[in-house]
Structures are given as C-alpha cells and as structure tokens.
Homo-oligomer: A and B are copies of this chain.
Amino acid sequence: MPHMKDKIIRVATSLFHRKGYFATSISEIAGLCGIQKASIYYHYASKEAILYQIHSTTMDDLTTYLKGNLQGVDGIEDCMRAAVRSHVRFHLERQKETFIANTELRGLTPEHYALIVAKRDTYEQIIQEIIQRGCAAGIFVDEDVKILSYAILTQCNAGAIWYKPGGRLTVDDIAEVYVRFALQGLMVR
C-alpha cells in the first residue's frame, strides 16, 4: 500500500481510539498527516470508508491469527487454551484497532455494518464450536454456550482497555492469567 494511504489509517486509528469516530474530524486526521483535508479524499471516498477499512482488516487479521494458532493443536482443552491465548494476545498487541472494532460499529453504513457483523459471527462461531464440543464431551460445564463464549471473549477484551505496553506485566503474562481463569471457569471439577 502506498505511503500516505497507510499513514491516514495509522493516524485515524490513533484518533478514533483516543477521541472516538464521531468526535474526530477529517481536518484533524489531515493535519496529523501533514496534508490538507481535501487531499484525504484522493485516498478515501469518505470518512466512513476509513472506519470501514480499519474494521475490515482488523477482523480479517483477528480470524487469520486464530486459525493459525489452532493449526495442529489437538484436544478440546488445548484448543480452548490456544483460542483464549490467541484472542488476548491479538487484543493487547493491536489495542487501538480492537478497541475501535468493539466500540465504533455505529459509525458504519448499514451495508458495511452487516459485512463486519458477519465477519464477527464467523470468528465467534469458531470459539463457540470448541466450547460446544467440550460441553458435549462432558469436560466443560453445562451452561449456555453463547453466554459462556461472550463472557470469555468480553473479559479478554477488557485487557485491551487497561493494558499499557511496557508495564509491570508482559502480554504473555496477562494472556496466561486469562487462559487459566477462563479454563478454570469452564472445566468441570
């Protein structure tokens, strides 16, 4: 991707994360890119197109990352560990984008909204299928699979809100806390 088109995404991601999509203006994005606001429209058709791009690549990368981390893993319990670990790591390493993906859905056009929700459903289904298999096998607790999956995914997202790179705990430390907590909550005693 050309240089400026990339830079616009990086700057917009930073601003959308800090101030929110609606509170961020095209001129602010342009200003931090060192160009005039009219020049933005050479690269993107609208402000919403920038938001959609962020959503789309974030969801694609998240799903690709999960599939890669599940490759060659055997056993339901280990699959679940790998899935939680993958989810947490991605959310901590791409904090700003995942925060936007979780909170700025309302800025999308109805068409784009539907596309992103479909991507999200695909991702969640991979996780839900693992939980489902564990419940059916009797090694996971007998609770509502959707509630369990949302609970686990959301508690991990929390990390992306308070995590500060370079702090007391590393990404791997935090990921393992969530893996242990989620698995302890899931496994029957």
Contact = CB atoms under 8 A, between A and B. Distances in A.
Given A23-B106, A106-B19, A141-B184, A150 B177 contact: no
A189 interface: yes
Interface stretch (A35-43, A47-55, A64-72, A155-163): A155-163
A31 interface: no
B144 A177 contact: yes
A74 interface: no
Contact of A181 (B18, B107, B148): B148
Interface in A136-189: 141, 143-144, 147-148, 150-159, 161-162, 169, 174, 177-178, 180-182, 184-185, 189
A151 B143 contact: no
Given A23-B22, A106-B23, A184 B181 contact: no
A20 B22 contact: yes
A125 interface: no
Interface string A107-130: 100000000000000000000000
Contacts of A57: none
Contacts of A147: 159, 174, 177-178
Contacts of A174: 147
A162 B154 CA distance: 12
A46 interface: no
9 tightest CB-CB pairs across the interface, nearest first?
A: A185-B185, A22-B22, A154-B158, A155-B155, A151-B155, A150-B158, A22-B23, A181-B185, A184-B185
23 contacts: A19-B106, A22-B22, A23-B106, A141-B180, A141-B181, A141-B184, A143-B181, A144-B177, A147-B174, A148-B177, A150-B159, A150-B162, A151-B156, A151-B158, A151-B181, A154-B154, A154-B158, A154-B161, A155-B155, A155-B158, A184-B184, A184-B185, A185-B185
